[in-house]
Amino acid sequence: MRERILTFIEKNSRIDIKELAILMGEDEIAVAEALLQMEEEGIICGYHTLINWDKVMTEKITALIEVRVTPQRGHGFDSIAERIYKYPEVTATYLISGGYDLLVILEGKTLKEVSSFVSDKLSTLESVISTATHFVLKKYKDHGTILEKHSNDERMVVSP
Amino acid sequence: MRNPLSEIVVDIKPSGIRKFFDIASEMKEAISLGVGEPDFDTPWHIRDEGIYSLERGRTFYTSNAGLMELRTEICNYLDRKINVKYDPKSEVIITVGGSEAIDIGLRAMINPGEEVLIPQPSYVSYEPCAILAGAKPVIIELKNENEFRLTPEELIAAITPKTKVLIMPFPNNPTGAIMTKDELEKIAKIVIEKDLFVISDEIYSELSYLGDHVSIASFPGMRERTIVINGFSKAYAMTGWRLGYACGPQLIIEQMTKIHQFAIMCAPTTSQYAAIEALKNGDEDVAMMRESYNQRRNYLMYIFKEMKLPCFEPFGAFYVFPCIKEFGLTSDEFAVRLLEEEKLAVVPGTAFGDCGEGFLRISYAYSLEKLKIAMERIERFITRLREEAK
């Protein structure tokens, strides 16, 4: 049941527990308990909303920053990652295999804000060797959802 | 001028679906729960393979029976799914949808006047195809109290010395009924005893919500007297690709291939390449779609209970078949009024046989959001009917 619930709410966390139980064909209390337990276990880490900010006047800029760092004895990459992800403007931080070490995703209001974060905060960290910043020009798909949808039901209204 | 038409064709009743389609298409703002095809797009990796085959210039005929690689994949699939082994060289034919397989299967097996048993309510093609093949169709009326499953008693009662073929339409369109292993076993026993043949239309086999689908061909002694029909339309959301297949004993498949060779030549090449990809890498897509359908099915069963609309719980396909007898309207009248008053199109049960009278086919090949709007309309409509009756 857990996996079925997770698969569903990953795409629609707004559903209420009663309806979720109906769709799963499960008991409402059992579903509520499963959700609670998964929250406690840290399996469910939050219930967010996917927003296409491009459609809102508020300006938002997303940047992907490749960061090369020197790992620290005893902490590996974890402590430098922590110093980075604690900034609230950082929306995601991943340890990456390949040509660089950390991928930092940043959201800022202006280009200037993002670039000053990189030059003032990120680059000045002692273990940071180099950074490369990529600005996002357009989001086509995010969190498995295609943002610009144009799907009409082209099926005939009645068919055998 | 002489009458240019064939009397046999002229005498065939036009499909009840067609009639309702004409009314429903006129209503521009109507929403519909009337379709018999998935709402999902064909998974992208399958479409991509079709595109790739076109890019590579694979635009020629294939062999009459279809691409060997596809036939081999089908045999692997059936071995895995229904536990029946077929020889890809001689026991499989790729057809233009499951519909063609029904047609050529009947034509390959029927001599004039022989009887074909057709359980109804069921898909609209069996009866006309049987007639066109020269058979006498004999209808078995399935019953609501049996949850529209075929019982051994009903089968025995319909058999005469002229009976040759039994059509097995499960999981069923329009009722959603399935047959369990035990129930099929009893049917198989009778089929063998009476020396009949079976055309088992298993096009909805992947949409079974009560454990795995069981094929009647998998019982001892049945493989040699069964044509299994399946296809890609429902499982992989590939209706427009027009691709199905039939498997069975070489003796019959050979003759079906002969008709197919003269009437069709071969199934569309692009679709065949896409279908190879579907069978090789499509299991996850099928599981995802099945889960979605199942959630909607659960929702509909719940909401019908809430509005006290009687409906047995169907465990297959993507249809529910609620009973509307309490309202004193025919299925046709009910459906037309629902369309006119609430702008909602569903299909009257009678489109699938006379014994569908008093029932509606509601398709849940629609998003939950759409289903919810539709259910509000049905509820409003039946509340009004109940008040009128007071």
Q: What is the pLDDT of residues A123-133, one digit of tens each?
A: 999 899 999 99
**B173/A157 touch (CB, cutoff 8 Å), yes or no:** no
Reply yes or no on whether the pLDDT at B336 is more than 90. Answer: yes
Q: Are residues B70 and B218 both part of a single domain?
A: yes
CATH of the domain at B155: 3.40.640.10
Domain boundary pick from B252, B282, B312 = B282
pLDDT: is B23 or B302 the higher one?
B302
Residue A108: in which H helix or E strand, if any? strand A102-108
Q: Are B261 and B67 in contact (CB under 8 A)?
A: no
**A23/B15 touch (CB, cutoff 8 Å), yes or no:** no
Mutate to test the interface with B, among A16, A20, A156, A157 (most CBs of B within 10 A): A157
Q: Are residues B73 and B218 both part of a single domain?
A: yes
Q: Give the closest residue to B63 by CA, choosing from B42, B90, B38.
A: B90
Q: Give the closest residue to B88 by CA, choosing from B276, B234, B222, B232.
A: B276
Q: Are residues B215 and B292 both part of a single domain?
A: no
Q: What is the DSSP string of B115-141?
A: EEEEEES--TTHHHHHHHTT-EEEEEE
Asked if residue B333 belongs to a domain, the reply is yes
Give the type of residue at B263.
Answer: A
pTM to 2 decimal places: 0.93
Reply yes or no on whether the pLDDT at B74 is more than 90. Answer: yes
Mean pLDDT of chain A: 92
> Mean pLDDT throughout A40-49?
95
CATH of the domain at B316: 3.90.1150.10
Asked if residue B46 belongs to a domain, the reply is no
Give the burial string for B198-211 (b: 16+ CB within 10 Å, else e): bbbbbbbbbbbbee
Asked if residue B311 belongs to a domain, the reply is yes
- The predicted structure's pLDDT at residue B344: 95
- The predicted structure's pLDDT at residue A152: 80
Q: By CA distance, what is A25's nearest residue in B?
A: B298
CA-CA distance, B334 to B341, in Å (whole number)? 10
Asked if residue B386 belongs to a domain, the reply is no
Q: Are residues B367 and B299 both part of a single domain?
A: yes
Residue A4 near chain B (CB below 8 Å):
yes
> Mean pLDDT throughout B32-45?
95
> In this predicted structure, which of A115-124, B119-128, B322-331 has the lowest mean pLDDT?
A115-124
Strands, E assignment, chain B: 31-32, 92-95, 115-120, 136-141, 163-168, 197-201, 226-231, 244-247, 319-320, 344-345, 347-348, 360-363
- The predicted structure's pLDDT at residue A156: 86
Provide the number of structural domains found in chain B. 2
Nearest C-alpha of chain A: how many angstroms from B305? 12
Residue B66 near chain A (CB below 8 Å):
no
pLDDT band, residue A154 (cuts 50/70/90): confident
Reply yes or no on whether the pLDDT at A151 is more than 80. Answer: no
pLDDT band, residue A56 (cuts 50/70/90): confident
Domain boundary pick from B282, B301, B334 = B282
- Residues 294-313 (B) with a CB less than 8 A from some CB of A: 294-296, 298-299, 302
Q: Which residues of A touch B39 (CB under 8 A)?
A: 153, 155
- The predicted structure's pLDDT at residue B228: 98
The Cα-based distances of B150 to A128, B199, B312 in angstroms read: 73, 14, 15
Q: Are residues B221 and B334 both part of a single domain?
A: no
> What digits encode the pLDDT tens for the residues B120-148?
999 999 999 999 999 999 999 999 999 99
Tokens of B221: 């002694």
Q: Which residues of A touch B24 (CB under 8 A)?
A: 157-158
> What digits encode the pLDDT tens for the residues B163-216?
999 999 999 999 999 999 999 999 999 999 999 999 999 999 999 999 999 999
Beta strands B163-168 and B197-201, pairing class: parallel
Asked if residue B316 belongs to a domain, the reply is yes
> What digits encode the pLDDT tens for the residues B339-366?
999 999 999 999 999 999 999 999 999 9
Domain boundary pick from B282, B311, B334 = B282
Residue A159 near chain B (CB below 8 Å):
yes
Tokens of B87: 């020889």
> What digits encode the pLDDT tens for the residues A60-106?
899 999 999 998 888 889 999 999 999 999 999 999 999 999 999 99
pLDDT: is A154 or A32 the higher one?
A32
| Structural domain of B316 | 7-41+284-378
- Determine how many CB atoms are found less than 10 A away from the CB of residue A92: 11
Q: Are B114 and B342 in contact (CB under 8 A)?
A: no
Asked if residue B51 belongs to a domain, the reply is no
**A157/B25 touch (CB, cutoff 8 Å), yes or no:** yes
- The predicted structure's pLDDT at residue A76: 87
**B32/A159 touch (CB, cutoff 8 Å), yes or no:** no
- The predicted structure's pLDDT at residue B200: 98
Q: Are residues B289 and B269 both part of a single domain?
A: no
Q: What percent of chain B has pLDDT over 70?
A: 100
Reply yes or no on whether the pLDDT at A35 is more than 90. Answer: yes
Residue B21 near chain A (CB below 8 Å):
yes
**Residue of B15, B35, B298 lying closest to A22 (CB–CB):** B298
Asked if residue B69 belongs to a domain, the reply is yes
**A157/B298 touch (CB, cutoff 8 Å), yes or no:** no
Q: Are residues B69 and B179 both part of a single domain?
A: yes
Residue B190: in which H helix or E strand, if any? helix B181-193
Asked if residue B390 belongs to a domain, the reply is no
- The predicted structure's pLDDT at residue B302: 97
- The predicted structure's pLDDT at residue B22: 84
Residue B364 near chain A (CB below 8 Å):
no
- The predicted structure's pLDDT at residue B33: 95
pLDDT band, residue A54 (cuts 50/70/90): confident
CA-CA distance, B142 to B119, in Å (whole number)? 6
The Cα-based distances of B71 to B44, B67, B172, B366 in angstroms read: 22, 6, 25, 32
- Respond yes or no on whether ipTM tops 0.90: no
Q: Are residues B109 and B197 both part of a single domain?
A: yes
Q: Which long-range contacts (CB under 8 A, 24 or more apart) does B257-264 make?
A: B257/B64, B257/B65, B257/B93, B258/B108, B259/B104, B259/B107, B259/B108, B260/B64, B260/B65, B260/B93, B260/B95, B260/B100, B260/B104, B261/B64, B263/B104, B264/B95, B264/B96, B264/B100
**A8/B123 touch (CB, cutoff 8 Å), yes or no:** no
Opening angle at CA B33, ends B29 and B39, nearest 5: 100
> What digits encode the pLDDT tens for the residues B56-71?
999 999 999 999 999 9
**A8/B295 touch (CB, cutoff 8 Å), yes or no:** yes
**A24/B295 touch (CB, cutoff 8 Å), yes or no:** yes
Residue B347 near chain A (CB below 8 Å):
yes
Contacts of B137 (CB under 8 A, 6+ apart): B115, B116, B118, B126, B127, B130, B131
> What digits encode the pLDDT tens for the residues B359-372?
999 999 999 999 99
